[in-house]
Homo-oligomer: A and B are copies of this chain.
């Protein structure tokens, strides 16, 4: 799939989003909206725009990092500290369905757009915001960053090997999760607005999003009052589960229940182990992990990873190879699912980015726009607002756009 194939309208066709966000957490969210057909106007500072434009690998003056988070948006430069800039934003909001921001709490209010003003002036507008810790509470005005959210959510405390320090996840998962949460919350508010006519203010935070991801580990902590330990690749509640040594590498095997454990032992030709009282049920297997691991490894190390993956999958046992990102994007399933797509960036050529994880049959996601150059659509968007050509030129000369 490339951006030169014109996609049909997405689910959010007709929804206009004013996007004041930068870096990752907001832009990933508004990109999700744009992927599904919303019209997203990304507002950037005239001087240098989103800081992501100068981060990561910049090829021919264009950051592929920026492209990864900003397809399906048009770019309007606007100096939001100027009165003229604020007046343009006001006109845009008057015609918009959604406003998204990821400033620190209070920054938007200082620009004159506190919650009361937003609700009063644009009653149909759905306002979305992402911040570090939520906009109330003792840390609401602390600066935030993914690493800190990972540390304070309890995620790092359970991530990593037992004998190493608490470990962050490499992708900025708190930013990504917050983006998904906000995209959901915005759409939920839009569903209500379609019925009631009323907008809303939707908020999520990096830290709250990750806390909600702690799921069953939180449940275990609440039930036992014992803090879950870091267990590396071992599952704290299930065995067998983990990476096993095959002849030429490791294979990930994860039977999730007794039936699948039976299938695994059958596929390994070691169904006899089920008669061993040390391995009769999950609790026994957890207590005798090392012994069972030895029995399983003895068999598994006799064959190659690819042989096991084929054999075990045929037997209905979840298993797979640990991929590098290169192997992920070379995998035939990942390719069949189009999880790498190319943006047609005109003179800059094709820029690959990750594909659409949410697939709709009747109104599928698509590439409606490649990632924009800074201010690429300023003139076009102002024209659509009814601003005269000379006025646009004058605003440009004054540095407002």
Contacts and interface: CB of A to CB of B under 8 A. Distances in A.
A208 interface: yes
A289 to B, nearest CB: 16
A377 interface: no
Contact of A323 (B152, B254, B321): B152
A156 B322 contact: yes
A319 B357 contact: no
Contact of A143 (B24, B157, B189, B313): B313
Contact of A324 (B14, B65, B157): B157
Contacts of A136: 336-337
A184 B180 contact: yes
Interface residues of A, number: 155
A147 interface: yes
A65 B219 contact: yes
Contacts of A218: 68, 325, 329, 353-354
A213 to B, nearest CB: 5
A148 B316 CA distance: 13
Contacts of A28: 215
Nearest to A216: B65
A115 interface: yes
A154 interface: yes
A165 B318 contact: no
Contacts of A81: none
A163 B59 CA distance: 31
A358 interface: yes
Nearest to A282: B55
11 contacts: A36-B185, A55-B237, A134-B359, A143-B260, A148-B320, A155-B170, A176-B177, A187-B188, A191-B191, A205-B357, A215-B354
Given A156-B252, A171-B214, A212-B339, 7 more contacts: A56-B219, A161-B167, A172-B215, A176-B177, A176-B215, A207-B333, A212-B355
